[in-house]
Structure 1
């Protein structure tokens, strides 16, 4: 899913860079960055899958938007010796790298929280499957059973109330 999103994003940006002037590219980078900031703000107020997805998408949009803005602001003479294809290839790599880099930190912390939750669920007698830090079906089912046993809202997600109940702080 992430690779498909990144591929579609890179194709879109490739087209933008190929068809537009630097000022329009800079404006699209600014718009993408602003969209990312709105998504990140939304994620701060919403738990569960939607909130986390918005946060991750926001980080990607912000990173890519910033990269596109920076590329558009650079002196065009810097690239005057390169062919358009070479310029677009370099730009595409920069955009993809910024998107991937923005996800690395999120993936690591998300995986760490899921792993801690899986271990805690196991301690409490709820089988989440193998403790690998991956939110699979067995983990979701175990979370749901745990939430039900603690009279929490059954979301089958590691929302704030569930993390607190598991003695894992949401920022941990």
Structure 2
């Protein structure tokens, strides 16, 4: 495992300038890596895309669909019973089916979690800033450091205008951060 210091840049030109400055500061090219980070949720970790196996906000939607579907079936059957003089007992089945379907859709949607738009402590609108632990998209330049070169790397990133500077542990060799995880908790410097 190596100690890695990384800086994020909005533009490729800033990242290129950082790589050049790091090399001038004495870091070898094989100890450097530069690559683009997609926005959160767009890292395509799974074959069908996305970063998570399932949507965390939808964890209660199945229960909501079942409950509301059952209620919808009963209401639909009752409404269908009113059609017996017109279309016979088949109206009860049709009404129950339509009610169950409509109820399950409403139940699933209403049971999904939504992020609060209001800060619970202040009662004011919630800030739109990204979470501190999430990486913002951009070009990440990473350099392998030791105890003696750590501050030199940080100073170089500051001088070249890095948006965020972080430190991590990982395998960085031959110009590639081998075990980089875009979802890992970011440890800002």
TM-score, with length taken from structure 2: 0.24
Select the structure of larger CA radius of gyration. 2
Higher helix share: 1
TM-score, with length taken from structure 1: 0.26
Higher relative contact order (CA 8 A, sep 6+): 2
